[in-house]
Amino acid sequence: MIGMNSYLNAYVDRRMAAVVEEWDLSTRADLSDLVLRLDALEREIPGLKAFGTAAADKLTELETRAKKLKAGRT
């Protein structure tokens, strides 16, 4: 069985890059700046929330104006 284990180990070693790519696995290089990327994303959240609120308010205002325009046409 030792022969089979060494064969499998060699196969996995040769194919590791393809396995990582195919299964979309993370590598140490991918994770090296994970904390920095996460911090940047967390800093974006308040601005995105404010944008969402402002967009919702503007949409409500536009819908109200559209209703008034439709009511004035009839």
Q: Which ranges constitute the DSSP H helices of 1-74?
A: 2-22, 28-31, 34-73
> Total structural domains in the chain?
1
3-state secondary structure of 25: coil
**pLDDT of res. 66:** 96
Q: pLDDT of 11-42, one tens digit each?
A: 888 999 898 889 898 888 889 999 999 999 99
pLDDT > 90 in the chain, percent: 58
Residue 35 belongs to domain spanning: 2-73
Report the distance separating Cα 69 and Cα 66, nearest Å: 5
The whole model's pTM is what?
0.52
CA angle centred on 73, ends 57 and 66, rounded to 5°: 10
pLDDT, mean over the chain: 91
